[in-house]
Amino acid sequence: MKLAVAAPNIRVTEILDVYNDNAPTNVLKALSKVTVKGVVDSDNDSSNGFLSDFTGRVFTTIFDKYLDKTILANDGNGDRRTFDTEDSKLFRGKAAVVKGVFAFDFIVPKDVKIVLGPRKLSFYAENEVIGKAGYTNDVVVGGIIAYRHEDTVGPEIQAFLNDESFIEGAIPMALQI
């Protein structure tokens, strides 16, 4: 039996630094606000164009740099082992895909690892018929913006109470109250 995995069909077309007059960037600095734009491609070859009839949602996870973790020597031989994990997420969210195109904004958290290094943006898009996936490693995370932009707008919050289908760490779907 073969595991069903969506083909890599989501592509980032542009990342803009909102606080710097929407200048194109590939560096996500702490406290910067960025807009990520992308498309859902028809296949693995982006030259064939994007799916202009794809309307649905895209789920995004943006990772900080790897974390080194060490496991205890519980097997009796006394050796501790270290390995890399992608536990630290800078952003998890969803956005609408309309006619194959999506865009979303987010503010990079202030507690990113300051040392510059490449990281991954991961995507999964779905509609009622198909699912598409993709990622890019063409983004650098680290550093901090030189100026602090005053953020006076709070986050959008939706209540998600008394629902047994809630899964810790999941992104809840829109709830109508």
124-152 pLDDT, tens digit per residue, is: 999 988 889 999 988 999 999 887 777 78
Is 87 inside any structural domain?
A: yes
Using an 8 Å Cβ cutoff, are 133 and 9 in contact? yes
The residue segments making up the domain with residue 51 are: 10-70+81-144
pLDDT at 175: 44
Position 36 confidence tier, pLDDT thresholds 50, 70, 90: very high
Q: How many domains does the chain have?
A: 1
Q: What pTM value is reported for the model?
A: 0.76
Q: What confidence tens digit (pLDDT) does each residue in 16-31 have?
A: 999 888 999 999 999 9
Average pLDDT, the chain: 83
Give me the sign of the Cα torsion angle 97, 98, 99, 101. Answer: negative
Is 53 inside any structural domain?
A: yes
pLDDT exceeds cutoff 80 at 166: no
Is 3 inside any structural domain?
A: no
**Phi then psi dihedrals of residue 46, to 5 deg:** -65, -15
Is 136 inside any structural domain?
A: yes
Is 175 inside any structural domain?
A: no
Q: Where are the alpha helices (H) located in 90-140, listed in sequence order?
A: none
Percent share of the chain, pLDDT over 90: 40
Helix/strand/coil for 65: coil
CATH number for the domain harbouring residue 66: 2.60.40.1930
Position 49 confidence tier, pLDDT thresholds 50, 70, 90: confident
Is 150 inside any structural domain?
A: no
